[in-house]
Structure formats: C-alpha cells, structure tokens
Structure 1
Amino acid sequence: MQVSTAPSTNSIPGQYWQWRGHKVYYVRAGERQSQRPPLLLVHGFGASTDHWRKNISGLYQDFEVYAIDLLGFGRSQKPKLQYSGDLWCDQLHDFISEVIGQKAVLAGNSLGGYASLSVAAKYPDSAAGVVLLNSAGPFNDNPPTSEPEALQSQIQPPKQPSPIQKLLGDSVKWIFQQPLSQLLLFQYVRQRWVIRQTLEKVYLDKTAITDQLIDEIARPAYDEGAFDVFVSVFSTPQGEKVDVLLKQLTCPLLLLWGEGDPWMNAKERSQKFRQYYPQLTEYFLQAGHCPHDEIPEQINKLLRDWVLSMK
C-alpha cells in the first residue's frame, strides 16, 4: 500500500492511496474507537469527498471517519476504463481491507449508496452496517433511479412509445452516442450555471447551493480524463439489481430519504426496500437528493444515534 499527502479545500488534508496502479484520494479524520466501527462516506455522481465536509466535521469527534473519491471522480485519477458499479465495489472493498483494516459502516449518497450496498452484499466481512441516502440503483422492472440514468431518461422515449416517438427516440440516442455530441454535452453539463441550475432542481433549501459547492463539483470536470469518465459512466450497463443485493445483505441497514428528490420517488422506493429487507430502519426528511449536504445536522444525529445503537 502506498499513501501520499495531497492538498484539499477541506480543513483536513487528504491523502492518496494507490489502487490498481491509480491514485485514489481520501480524507481521514478522528481517532479509532475500540467499541465503535469506522465510518466510510461515499459520494454520488459528479461529487467528491468535499460533498461530505459538513458530515466529517460533525462526526469525527465520535468516530474515525473516512471519505473517499471513487475512481474517476473528485481528486482521484481518471483513467480510461469501463466504469461500473462492480469497479467501485471492488475499490471500496479493497480500501476497507488495505487502509481501514476492519469492518466499517458504509454511508453512501445516490451512486455511492449503490456502491456501498454492493460492497455490503458481496463482501459481508467489510461492512458493519450500511446507510443509504437517496440511494441509486435499479430494482427489477423499475425506472431509472440515478443521476446518469435520470439524464439518459430525458433523451430517451417512454417505455411504450408510438412509432414516431420510437423513431425520434432512437435517432436522439444515436446522436448522443457520437463522439462530437458526447463532447458537446460534456462541455455543456460542466458549466457552472448548468451545475447551479441542476442543483436548484434537487435541493429544497437553495441557500445550501453555495459558490463553494459549485466549485467543488465543477473543478474535477476539467481534470485530465474527465471526458472519458463521463462517456463511460453515461454508457455503462446497469449493474446487479438492488433486490438481488438486498437478498444477500446480512448487516444492519439505515435508509435516510430526502422526500423532495425529483429524481426518485422516495416512498415508492422505500416500499421496495422494505419488501426485500423488512428489518431496516428509515427516516423521511424535508430535503432533496443530497440530504447530507442540505440538512447535515439532522443527518449527522440520525447516523450517529443509529451506529451507536447497533449491536
């Protein structure tokens, strides 16, 4: 294992870990607690460890806290690979094994939630518990439920289109599979005003959308390799279905829902989760897609109390 320090906009300096020949960025705060598992915070699509800064500062006095940039995001390297849930699942599992060194509670938002659930389901020796905040991931016969899938759904036809809709839908999909179209779309979505507009759709409290937040999301999109990551994630096949993962899960599960999320129906997805894992704990909160950033005090308290209550 190779670790080196790196600059950070957080007050806590980050480090790099070498994984499969690539630099992976992470932040560690707090001291190891003999009776409490470490926490591993995993961001969503287009975000990074910066998105957890309010949670790290609120939790590190009670726990050893880690936050990691998934390969292809944040300050982690952006090699030209096929990005998928399986890749990030392996990354998180190896990080827990090599860096943390013991079972951790994984807390993930959106795409990071799906990756965290995958780790807990496939590698039970890595997970002491899982916290999902508006977690992405497909159930069988379910509509899109993640940021990339939500973006795709805006340019794809409905499930039962008319012949004209199908023709137009196939044409649009073909256009966006072309390199020039993909480059133009990438150049568009990384503009600061577009990022702000997107955040305003998924945050209930608009005051949480600060210039710092927009900077933190925009900055990695100008890194070398960011375009290749965008193309790969945009075209990546769906991973294992959430219901299949839940059937394999053996550790405690906490769901924290921002009810105002326009990208997913929290109540409907809650019922699906309960159908396959009825022993879960969950809370519905007045927030959007990223409740950990929008209402961090509430999230920190719920997460802290839940972990401390675990047997």
Structure 2
Amino acid sequence: MTTTQFYTWQSYPCAYDCHHPPTAPPQGSPLLLIHPIGVGLSRQFWQRFLNTWYQQGHRQTIYNPDLLGCGESAMPRLAYHPDDWAAQLEYFVKTVIQEPVVIVAQGALAPVALACVARFPDLIRGMVWSGPPAWRLITTPTPSRQQNIAWNLFDTPLGAAFYRYARREAFLRSFSQRQLFAQEADIDQEWLEQLHQGSRDLNSRHAVFSFLSGFWRQDYGKAIASIPCPTLVLFGEEASSVTRGYVENADQRLAAYLDHLPQGQGRKIPGRNVLPYESTAVFVEVVGDFIKNIKNL
C-alpha cells in the first residue's frame, strides 16, 4: 500500500503519492496526474488508472498529487484559479520530481495543464487531456465580474448549505448519471464512497465553488495553438457538456482540437466524461501507445 507523502508549498501542506512498477525498475519519463475538481474528487480519482497501468506492463513512475483545496492537501478559503494550481505543480515538479514529466489531466482541468506549459514548458515532454471542455467553451471567456459575483454568492452560509446538499449520495448518484457516466451501472459503490469520503470536510467546497464560479473560463485558443509538446486528446464516444448551451458531439470536439494543436493526436473511446474511471483499460492502452511513440520518452 502506497503511503501518503507531503511537501510544503507557500506554507500549505500538500499531499501526494508516488507509484513505481512492481516488478521492474522504472523506465521513461514519469507521469504527473491532474485530478478533476468536483464534490469529493481528489487524487483518489486515479486509483483504477494506476492499478491498470502497471497491470498492462507500463514502467513509468507516477506522481499523483492532491491539488490545494482537495483530498489530503490543505483547504484554505481561497478563490482558486488555474494558475494557482499550476504554481503548486511547478513547485512540485521542480522540488520533488526533479525531471521532465508527461502530464495527464482530466476534464476541465486542461486549463491547469495549459498554465503548467506557460510556467515550465521545458519540464513537460507531452500531455494527455481526457475529455477536455467543448471547444466553444474553452475559447469563450466568462467576464471576471460575473466570476466574482458567483464566488461571492457561493462563499456564504447559503453556499455551505448547498454543498451539504450536493454531497448527499442521492445527489451524487443523480449528477453522475446525468453528466458523467455513459452507463448507469458503472456508477458503483466504489465511486460513490470516494466522493463521500472526499467531501466530508466542508472546507473542500472552496475548490469546488472556485470551479463552479468559472475562474477557469478564459479564451485558451492562442495558448492551445502554441503548445510545444505532443498532446493527446481523448473523448468518450458519448461525450457531453455539463454547461448548458455548448452542444458539440465527440467528433466535432475532437476535430476542433486537432485543427488547433500543433502536435495534436486524438481518439474516441467508449465512455462519456470520466474515461480513466469508466473505460480504464482502453484509456490506459491508448495513453500507453501515445507515450511509447513520443521521441525521447
């Protein structure tokens, strides 16, 4: 069993775990996982991926951190922006990992990966984006005034009451069915227990409300078009948007990203929006092939 480790960033204790291949020495650039933000989500999201990665014989070391505000990391009352988490990861890569990495980011945390590229491009060998936002969504900014109004509303007793409601099992199951999973049967007790445990600390709401306030909503078109490393974009065949008004099917999303990524590759695989969890084996296989084909990895 892997032991949780900690480092200190800007006086905050930050948690992570480090995984090595069980039967052979590590080989290749390590992976840096970026978990999604949501009620109860943390680095535990990647457990199925981690197990399957080594079962399929891959030998990279994997670093799996909790972003600030999530899991076992500190949960200060802050309005988190993508660059805040990227600054945390920059420190983590430079002081803990100390070598170039391949970033694997889930969902709407793609902007955090982009902020990492802006901060430490020489330490990123490649990236994998699992189910990033619809192209129109990731290139349409939300006015900062609107973001701040939303945050100020969430950062009230009313917001805390809503979070208590949102972490109930009935709500989590319903949301997962409506927005995340392709098959209702895949919403198992392991998933629900993970969310339950991750949301027990009411302070975990700050990261979630920062996400819901839309601080990540900027126009990333130019940043995407200037990514200097190979980037794999994966979408579920039944991909959907959790934001109203942004209707793009998986083919449209994939085509839009590939039209703009300088070294982009893309695939559709079975599933909807949480591919590392609902379609783990296929996801690992495709990511593994991508990494094998990147030069110097």
Match in the other structure for 1:50: 44
Q: For residues 301 and 232 of structure 1, what CA distance do their matches in structure 2 show?
A: 33
Does residue 221 of the first structure (1) align with residue 199 of the second (2)? yes
Does residue 193 of the first structure (1) align with residue 177 of the second (2)? no
Q: CA deviation at 1:237?
A: 2.9
Pairwise CA RMSD of aligned residues?
Answer: 2.7
Match in the other structure for 2:252: 268
Moved more, 265-274 or 182-191: 265-274
> Highest CA radius of gyration, 1 or 2?
1
Q: CA deviation at 1:260?
A: 1.4
Match in the other structure for 1:59: 53
User: Which one-letter code corresponds to 1:191 in the other structure?
Assistant: R
Q: CA deviation at 1:177?
A: 5.3
Kept in 1, the 8 Å contact 2:36–2:108? The answer is yes
Structure 1 unpaired stretches of 5+: 1-10, 144-151, 153-169
User: Which one-letter code corresponds to 1:63 in the other structure?
Assistant: Q
**TM (normalized to structure 1)?**
0.79
**TM (normalized to structure 2)?**
0.83
Structure 2 unpaired stretches of 5+: 243-247
Does residue 139 of the first structure (1) align with residue 138 of the second (2)? yes
Q: CA deviation at 1:234?
A: 3.0
Q: CA deviation at 1:278?
A: 4.8
Match in the other structure for 1:291: 275
Match of 1:29 among 19, 24, 29: 19
Q: For residues 299 and 125 of structure 1, what CA distance do their matches in structure 2 show?
A: 26
Structure 1 residues 177 and 104: alpha-carbon distance in aligned structure 2, compared to 1, 3 A threshold: closer
Match in the other structure for 2:110: 113
State the identity %: 22
Does residue 97 of the first structure (1) align with residue 94 of the second (2)? yes
Aligned to 1:115, what secondary structure does the other structure show?
A: helix
- Runs (4+) of structure 1 moved beyond 4 Å? 31-35, 173-178
User: Which one-letter code corresponds to 1:107 in the other structure?
Assistant: V
Structure 1 residues 187 and 274: alpha-carbon distance in aligned structure 2, compared to 1, 3 A threshold: same
Kept in 1, the 8 Å contact 2:126–2:230? The answer is yes
Match in the other structure for 1:232: 210
Q: For residues 80 and 308 of structure 1, what CA distance do their matches in structure 2 show?
A: 41
With a CA cutoff of 8 Å and minimum separation of 6, indicate the structure with the bigger relative contact order. Answer: 2
